[in-house]
Structure 1
Amino acid sequence: MKQEFKFRRWTGEEMVAVHKITFDDDELIVYGGGVVHFADSSTVMQYTGLKDKKGREIYEGDIVRTGKDNIGDPEPMIGQVIMREGSWLIENEKKQEAVDLFSEITSREVIGNIFENPEMLEADENDD
């Protein structure tokens, strides 16, 4: 199976596709959106190789809602997509919960990202 490596970058105003990444004197240089940028690594997000239930690509930094599609599914949650110890997870830091991004039994839906919709994580955190 071929792994697809794709990235996107938050410019401070919009998400743009990244076409090339290089390093120069310990600086990250990102080519995308028709412009060359010196970037903070926290604004560059990797594609997980997975798509949500609507066919939308899931990237690191996306805010994802898990579904309750089958009897016995874990409780639905909202969290941020992160990479931890080589695995893609959906993490709700406030609730100290994390579930695998990949699931054969429960759907995943991208509902936003941490740059454009941070309030989605805050709203979920206040639901306690």
Structure 2
Amino acid sequence: MKREIKFRAWQPQGKRMFEVGDIDFIKEEVMLCHWGWESSNDIDLMQYAGREDKNKRQICEGDIVRTGTDNIGDPEPMIGQVIMREGSWLIENEKKQEAIDLFSEITSREVIGNIFEDKQLLEGKQ
């Protein structure tokens, strides 16, 4: 089975999100390359979950996702953050009370933001 392993990164100082081109391990520090090499100490690294949403947008760790109204077997439609827990990609609601599988063949998922730029979406404020 072949799968894409990709990362993106959030740089808090510049308030920017970027795709990571290369990762290099130098003297116990991870260096990331996009436009130039940057230390991972200054960056939040997020992994691509290997799937796209209903609009063909790549879904990554830290994205805020809305489940569809076409839920079959899922609970009520919800908005939550994409996380990795015990080897599975999940959507966890804002109160961390409920998590459902990110992957579903019978229900749509849509990326509506991410936890760095759109945290208010988790609180139901749009």
TM-score (norm 2): 0.89
- Cα distance in 1, alignment partners of residues 21 and 61 from structure 2: 17
Task: Kindly report which structure 2 residues correspond to 1:1-128, keeping only aligned pairs within 5 A, or say none.
Answer: 1-12=1-12, 13-32=15-34, 34-40=35-41, 43-70=44-71, 73-123=74-124
1:60–1:27 Cα change, 3 Å: same
Measured in 1, the distance between the counterparts of 2:24 and 2:123 equals 34
Cα offset, 1:73, TM superposition: 4.3
Deviation at 1:40, TM superposition (A): 3.4
Deviation sequence 1:6-27 (CA, Å, 0-9, x none) = 1111122211110111222221
Q: What displacement does 1:88 show?
A: 0.4
Question: For the residues of structure 2 that align with 1:103 and 1:41, how far apart are their CA atoms?
Answer: 34
Query: What letter matches 2:5 in structure 1?
Result: F
Q: Is the deviation greater in 68-77 or in 53-62?
A: 68-77
* Number of matched pairs: 123
Moved more, 79-88 or 40-49: 40-49
After TM superposition, the score normalised by the length of structure 1 is 0.87
The CA RMSD over aligned residues, in Å, is: 1.8
1:28–1:41 Cα contact (<8 Å) kept:
no
In structure 1, what residue type is equivalent to 2:10?
W
